Structure 1
Amino acid sequence: MMTANPYSFRKVALGDLDLLMAWQSSPHVQKWWGAQEPYTAADLADPRVARWIVSYDARPFGFMQDYSVHGWENHHFAHLPKGARGIDQFIGDPDMIGVGHGPAFIRTRLQALFDAGAPVIATDPHPDNAQAIAAYKKLGFEPSGPAQETRWGLILPMLLRP
């Protein structure tokens, strides 16, 4: 008997912006994401990026985005094949951290991206973010080069193929 996946993803809407700002102002998110400007309607309409509210059993607790690595000039993953996607995410609700939700919901989204035809998925955690790197390795990501400075900050490039 198969059980339903408890993780769901819905597109971020304008009504979610206060929730995202509250999550982004939390110290555990700011540590790795920095002080972010609030998303705008134009950000949400950007076709290069799909932004998601992640829920567990209908309880919103995180944010995830996937994006075209070819959407920006000189992106550090622009060498990847057509259709490659990049991912970023955070758990906003501190009660949901450290209990296995990160790898579980990321795995769910990765499968959807591969099912949609992505030939490879990239991510770029800060090299000091050992928790994120361990979660990505648990999912099968492998470093694809040394740490490097980008316009988005210092990153460790990591890749996952189906």
Structure 2
Amino acid sequence: MADYSFRPVVAADLPMLAEWLRQPLVAEWWPGPDRQIALMGEDMENPVMHQVIACRDGIDLGYAQYYPANHWPAPHFTDLPEDTLAIDVFGGPQGQGHGGAWLRALGDLLLADASTLAIDPAPHNLRAVRAYEKAGFQGDAIRPDAEGQPVRVMTRRR
């Protein structure tokens, strides 16, 4: 198994992340790259939000942010344990094919402090669902998120 590492996102990463957000495979699910980058910049100052870059052999592969699942309105997560961490991810161009593996490695680290991890892909985002399953997430419940959009609730437990 490959060794993955995770480093905190810093302001100098924002131009790279903006490029990643403009990639068609990412933009389909993370629309509005300028708005997304502005939010990421704001979140760098928020102690509840943790943002990391997944790396392997010095190559940046993907982005993840994780936070307490019930910190912001998230009706689809209300039945999960209080210590659940929600995760949002997207990959960079060099990370294609690595998403499930680096997300599994990140999950292994996060489950040392949380009993449950939750992720919520769009039900028809089958590429993401497959990667999340490879990372150990399970679940097929479709629920509305805070904006009323259907999401598939997938969890990974300690």
TM-score range, shorter chain: 0.7 to 0.9
Q: Residues of 2 paired with 1:22 and 1:107: CA distance? A: 24
Residue matched to 1:109: 106
Q: TM-score, normalised by structure 1?
A: 0.85
Quote the RMSD (CA, aligned, Å): 2.0
Asked whether 1:63 is paired with 2:63, we answer: yes
Compute the displacement of 1:79 (Å). Answer: 2.7
Compute the displacement of 1:30 (Å). Answer: 0.4
Q: Residues of 1 paired with 2:5 and 2:66: CA distance? A: 15
Residue matched to 1:96: 95
Q: Residues of 2 paired with 1:74 and 1:136: CA distance? A: 19
Compute the displacement of 1:21 (Å). Answer: 0.7
Q: Is the Cα–Cα contact under 8 Å of residues 144 and 159 in structure 1 kept in the other structure? A: no
Task: Describe the superposition over 1:37-89 as per-residue Cα deviations: whole angstroms up to 9, x where unpaired.
Answer: 12354321112211111111111121111111121135421332221101111
Asked whether 1:24 is paired with 2:21, we answer: yes
Q: Which amino acid aligns with 1:46?
A: N
Q: Residues of 2 paired with 1:130 and 1:49: CA distance? A: 26
Higher alpha-carbon Rg: 1
Any stretches of 5+ residues in structure 2 without a counterpart?
none
Q: Report the secondary structure of 2:108's partner residue.
A: helix
Q: Is the Cα–Cα contact under 8 Å of residues 69 and 75 in structure 1 kept in the other structure? A: no
Structure 1 residues 76 and 127, CA gap change in structure 2 (3 angstroms): same
Q: Residues of 1 paired with 2:90 and 2:132: CA distance? A: 13
Q: TM-score, normalised by structure 2?
A: 0.87
Q: How many correspondences in the alignment?
A: 155
Identity %: 31
Any stretches of 5+ residues in structure 1 without a counterpart?
none
Q: Report the secondary structure of 2:28's partner residue.
A: helix
Residue matched to 1:8: 5
Residue matched to 2:130: 134
Residue matched to 1:82: 82
Structure 1 residues 137 and 112, CA gap change in structure 2 (3 angstroms): same
Q: Residues of 1 paired with 2:10 and 2:26: CA distance? A: 20
Compute the displacement of 1:90 (Å). Answer: 1.0
Q: Residues of 1 paired with 2:104 and 2:117: CA distance? A: 11
